[in-house]
A = this chain, B = another copy of it.
C-alpha cells in the first residue's frame, strides 16, 4: 500500500494507524508548499486534492475515518477497533466523525477561510475566533467524550492517533493544551508509542 501524506496534516492519523497495524506500506509526501495536491498527477489519485489518500490493491481510499476503519478491519490482529460489536464500533466512528466534521473543520477556518468566504475581513474574523472555537471542541472532548487512559477507555483504538493528530494543532491555533489535562496527558502518552515515533520520524519530525 502507499499512503500519500503531507507533514502537519491530518494524514498523520492514518500514518500512525498503519504503523500500529504492522502494515507494509510506503509513505509518499505531497508537497503542499508547491501546491502539489492540486496538480493533475495528484488529482488522478484524489480528485478532492487532499490528504490522506491510501492506494491499495483494490483501489484508492480517502477520508481519515474511512481509512482508519479500513486499517482496523484489514488487520484484526492489531485490535485497533471493536470490530464485532456494532455499538462499540459506532462509538469509535462517532468520535472520529466528530473530529473530522467538527474539530478538523474548526481548525481549517484559521488558514483556509477561502473555502467558505471571499473577503479578507471574513478570513480575519474566522482567524480571531479560532481559539474560542477550537477551545470549545476540546472542552467537549475533555468533559464528555474522553474516557481514559485511551480515548474510549482501556483499549487503544483508531480514535487515539486521530485525537493525537488534531491535538497537536492546539498551540498553533492559539489554545493552551494544558487547559485539557486528560487530552494533554494522552498526547504525552502517545509520544511514547513506537508506532507514533516511527510515523513522526518518517514525516521528518523524528
Q: Which of A93-137 contact B (CB under 8 A)?
A: 93-94, 97-98, 100-102, 104-106, 109, 115-119, 121-122, 125-126, 128-129, 133
Contact A125:B133 (CB < 8 A) given known A65-B93, A74-B86: no
Contact A62:B94 (CB < 8 A) given known A101-B105, A116-B109, A121-B121: yes
A151 on the interface (CB 8 Å rule)?
no
Q: Given the complex, which residues of B lie within 8 Å of A122, measured CB to CB?
A: 117, 119, 121-122, 125-126
Q: Given the complex, which residues of B lie within 8 Å of A65, measured CB to CB?
A: 65, 93, 97
Most B Cβ at <10 Å: residue of A47, A63, A104, A106: A63
Q: Report the separation of the CA atoms of residues A118 and B126 in the bound assembly, to the nearest whole angstrom.
A: 8
Q: Report the separation of the CA atoms of residues A59 and B62 in the bound assembly, to the nearest whole angstrom.
A: 30
A70 on the interface (CB 8 Å rule)?
yes
Q: Given the complex, which residues of B lie within 8 Å of A66, measured CB to CB?
A: 90-94, 97
Q: Report the separation of the CA atoms of residues A102 and B48 in the bound assembly, to the nearest whole angstrom.
A: 10
A interface residues, Cβ below 8 angstroms from B: 47-48, 56, 58-59, 61-67, 69-70, 73-74, 86-87, 89-94, 97-98, 100-102, 104-106, 109, 115-119, 121-122, 125-126, 128-129, 133, 140, 143-144
* Nearest B-chain residue to A97, judged by Cβ: B63
Contact at A116–B106, with CB atoms within 8 Å?
yes
Contact at A126–B121, with CB atoms within 8 Å?
no
Contact A70:B97 (CB < 8 A) given known A116-B126, A118-B129, A133-B115: no
Q: Given the complex, which residues of B lie within 8 Å of A62, measured CB to CB?
A: 94, 98
Q: A63-B98, A63-B101, A65-B97 are in contact. List 17 more A-B contacts (CB 8 A).
A: A47-B140, A47-B143, A48-B102, A61-B87, A62-B98, A64-B97, A65-B93, A66-B97, A70-B89, A73-B89, A74-B86, A100-B100, A101-B101, A117-B125, A117-B126, A118-B129, A122-B125
Contact at B118–A119, with CB atoms within 8 Å?
no
Q: Report the separation of the CA atoms of residues A127 and B98 in the bound assembly, to the nearest whole angstrom.
A: 24
